[in-house]
Amino acid sequence: MKKSLLFLPLGLLFFGCKKDLKESDKPAVQNLNIVTTPIAFDSSDIAPLTTQLTFSTSEAVYMEVSVLGKHGTDTDISYRFDTQDRDHELTVLGLYPDYLNTVALAMINSEGNIIDLDTVQVQTKSELPENLPEITIKTAQKTAMADGLTLISNYGKGMHVPFMIDHHGDIRWYLDYSGHPELNNLFYDCGIERLQNGNMYFGNNNSSHIYEVDMRGEIVNSWPLSGYFFHHNVQDKPNGNLLVTASKSGSLHDNGNGTIEDYVVELDRNGGGIIQEWDLKESLDEYRTVMRDELNESTIDWFHGNAVIYDARDNTIIVSGRTQGLVKLDYNNNVKWILGPHKAWGTDRAGNDLNQYLLTPLDASGNRITDVEVLDGNIPHADFEWNWFQHAPELMPNGHIILFDNGDRREWDNGGKYSRAVEFNIDEEAMTVQQIWSYGQNRGTETFSFIVSDVDYLPKENHVLFAPGCIRDNTSQGRNEGRVIEVDYDTQQVLFEAQFITPPGGFVALHRAERMTIYAD
């Protein structure tokens, strides 16, 4: 950490400019000059587009900070802190790289009146981390978009570096652990997301730990996965515990070969131990090879767990296996249902027939689809298509599931090359599934990502964030790309679209993408 003092009379980075934070109709400023100490700022090597301001005021006030945007007020990033005090330690987020940033400070009294205003200027370093993608904004309708920045769990090339962009494509936050003693080889797989407490969290394949960090990248907590190896995804439950897709040391297939990526564990966030294990070899058919056959490999990746979410309605988990489908399990590792093509399902290790758990698709009128060719995934139905090599399932507020249907090997390699965001309504009593909504088929190969990728439903705006993360470039340049596309659910109008082209030698552009405010709500 680098600390500097910002002296009021002569400091290079501080000016007593009395002006409002934004062009708005805020109450008149009294200009009481209540800052009583030099302002110290604390920069971060891990999160260089942040700073921390420390100073005192002559009376207890609330503070609001605003990083003034390059492109007018709609690129300002403002935040009002909820504590009233004389001594202030303010984390400023959303600076621009290689730029003399202006940060406006508003001091607000108990009545909500601004009683003083000043500005601080912060010069950020010029170099972004190596191997970030080329970013191009294809379209951005700011007034129609969901609020916040777009968080990219960047893959690129080399060590993973997550970053946030605004609607102009400017990077406003990133974490660079290249100089960190523990995380300098960070490989977070699916990526980084926000905890309920506002901090960020991720797993690291290279250390098999789960990490909680603050917005300046400082480690708040970490938990080892003793006996297991992190792979792909970690999700927090409402009680704070963490669900993790993992591999287990010494795991063996029924044929005697080793296996990977076929466990889910629950980590006690307070105690730090593993309190629950789901061995998917016990509950599913480890000999089902219709999507990928690795049974003769010394290490078999027969399931390839890439996501897990919690369903609080009935205390169950929903697990995505890239090469099997989407599966719901209870806390005794019993299957509740399976969403995927019906072809070639056998029995679990206890001999239970898994065909009884296969969901039957419905057409748009609610009638059961009985054509075996459709059920087995050989052909699509006009109203329904199965999920193929899916990622990123999410429970919507209405109880439906939205996921990223990658479309790899669609209709057993006889279907079109396109990926979709698709919404399914599952009736667990009737054991049926109905396709409600989808986006992406008409985009074709332009947004076809055979691996990784994300989709999120944005309930406040009724929008969908569709993020194919590895769109193959078959030209001689071989630079793959990812897209983040925000669409209106009702009209399917594209409101925002950003392109991320990998650096030379890169492969995956991104795994997950989120829309969020840079300060936690």
Task: Please write the tens of the pLDDT for every residue from 118-137.
Answer: 999 999 988 899 999 999 99
Classify the phi-psi angles of 191: left when phi > 0, otherwise alpha if psi is within -120 to 50, otherwise beta: left
pLDDT at 76: 98
The model's pLDDT over 65-112, given as tens digits with 9 standing for 90+, comes to 999 999 999 999 999 999 999 999 999 999 999 999 999 999 999 999
Q: Is the pLDDT of residue 158 over 70?
A: yes
> Is 293 found in the same domain as 323?
yes
pLDDT at 382: 98
Written as six digits, the tokens of 373 are 């060719």
pLDDT tier at 13, thresholds 50, 70, 90: very low
Structural domain of 313: 253-264+276-450
The model's pLDDT over 15-32, given as tens digits with 9 standing for 90+, comes to 333 333 444 434 455 566
| 248 within domain boundaries | no
| 131 within domain boundaries | no
CB contact at 8 A, 467 and 453: yes
CB contact at 8 A, 147 and 521: no
pLDDT at 521: 86
pLDDT at 25: 38
pLDDT at 21: 42
% of residues, the chain, pLDDT over 70: 94
Q: How do strand 114-123 and strand 481-488 relate by DSSP bridges?
A: unpaired
Q: Is the pLDDT of residue 4 over 80?
A: no
pLDDT at 429: 99
The model's pLDDT over 224-239, given as tens digits with 9 standing for 90+, comes to 999 999 999 999 999 9
Q: Is the pLDDT of residue 205 over 50?
A: yes
| 233 within domain boundaries | no
The model's pLDDT over 307-336, given as tens digits with 9 standing for 90+, comes to 999 999 999 999 999 999 999 999 999 999
> Is 465 found in the same domain as 431?
no
Q: Which of 65, 115, 116, 119 is nearest to 92 (CA)?
A: 65
pLDDT at 22: 44
Q: Is the pLDDT of residue 12 over 70?
A: no
Coil, helix or strand at residue 453: coil
| 236 within domain boundaries | no
Question: Which whole number is the average pLDDT over 155-165?
Answer: 93
Q: What does residue 443 show for φ and ψ, rounded to 5 degrees? A: -80, -20
Domain termination site, one of 393, 426, 450:
450
| 388 within domain boundaries | yes
Q: Which residues does 355 contact at the CB level (< 8 Å), separation at least 6?
A: 342, 345
Q: Which of 258, 176, 202, 232 is nearest to 392 (CA)?
A: 232
Q: Is the pLDDT of residue 9 over 50?
A: no
> Is 148 found in the same domain as 98?
no
Strand partners, 88: 55
Top pLDDT among 211 and 22 is at 211
Written as six digits, the tokens of 367 are 């009638």
> Is 185 found in the same domain as 161?
yes
**pTM of structure:** 0.94
> Is 457 found in the same domain as 444?
no
> Is 423 found in the same domain as 475?
no
> Is 289 found in the same domain as 170?
no
| 397 within domain boundaries | yes
> Is 445 found in the same domain as 461?
no
| 94 within domain boundaries | yes
Domain count, the chain: 3
pLDDT at 15: 34
Domain termination site, one of 71, 96, 123:
123
Question: Which whole number is the average pLDDT over 376-385?
Answer: 99
Top pLDDT among 503 and 287 is at 287
The model's pLDDT over 413-435, given as tens digits with 9 standing for 90+, comes to 999 999 999 999 999 999 999 99
The model's pLDDT over 445-490, given as tens digits with 9 standing for 90+, comes to 999 999 999 999 999 999 999 999 999 997 767 799 999 999 999 9
> Is 18 found in the same domain as 103?
yes
Coil, helix or strand at residue 73: helix
| 112 within domain boundaries | yes
pLDDT at 258: 99
> Is 508 found in the same domain as 423?
no
Question: Which whole number is the average pLDDT over 500-506?
Answer: 92
Domain termination site, one of 450, 476, 495:
450
CB contact at 8 A, 392 and 455: yes
Q: Tell me the residue ranges of DSSP E strands in 323-467.
A: 325-329, 335-339, 360-362, 391-395, 401-405, 420-427, 432-439, 454-458, 463-467
Q: Is the pLDDT of residue 389 over 70?
A: yes
Q: Is the pLDDT of residue 280 over 80?
A: yes
Written as six digits, the tokens of 395 are 């429970």
Sign of CA dihedral 155, 156, 159, 163: negative
The model's pLDDT over 237-273, given as tens digits with 9 standing for 90+, comes to 999 999 999 999 999 999 999 999 999 999 999 988 9
Say how far apart CA 334 and CA 197 lie, in whole Å.
32
pLDDT at 476: 66
Domain CATH for 65: 2.60.40.2550
> Is 390 found in the same domain as 339?
yes
pLDDT at 474: 77
Looking at every residue in the chain, the average pLDDT score rounds to 94
